[in-house]
Amino acid sequence: MGATRTRNEQARLLVVPAIALAVACTGVAAVPAIAADAAKPVTHTVVMDGVKYAPDALTLRRGDTVVWVNKDPFPHNVTAKGAFESPDIAAGKSWKWTARKTGDYAYMCTLHPNMKGTLKVE
């Protein structure tokens, strides 16, 4: 996770002067939107509530992070064998994973085998 943060900070260091320069030259309109589009990693949240993942299908880009937040009063996990396997995530806790490879990932909670989700990493 430390590496992700460092990369974000580097991206920010590059983006901020670019915005400042563009604003100085052209004014404010639309420039931040263009800068934000430059493959900056995004964090997506999946809530675990009522023994379901919400959303249960998510598309993300390589470098993005998914945070699963357990809002149920009992543990869940996030298991995609061979790709990622969380420990059991206690009530109120969360767990995160950063996508490094493209592909389709089907995952489930091994404690509740009907609890399933998918990630598509582009």
- The residue from 111, 116, 118, 120 that contacts Cu ion (CB under 5 A) is 111
Binding to Cu ion by CB under 5 A, coded x per residue (else -) over 53-82, reads -----------------------x------
Question: 89: which DSSP letter?
Answer: B
C-alpha separations of 109 from 7, 12, 19, 99 in Å: 30, 35, 43, 19
* Shortest distance, position 111 Cβ to Cu ion, whole Å: 4
Identify which of residues 99 and 115 has a Cβ nearer to Cu ion in the complex: 115
Q: Does 109 bind Cu ion (CB under 5 A)?
A: yes
Identify which of residues 108 and 121 has a Cβ nearer to Cu ion in the complex: 108
Burial grade of 107 (CB within 10 A; 0-12, 13-18, 19 or more) = buried
* Shortest distance, position 1 Cβ to Cu ion, whole Å: 23
Q: Give the 3-state secondary structure of residue 23.
A: helix
Identify which of residues 109 and 119 has a Cβ nearer to Cu ion in the complex: 109
Q: Does 52 bind Cu ion (CB under 5 A)?
A: no
Q: How many H-runs (helices) and E-runs (strands) does the chain carry? A: 2, 9
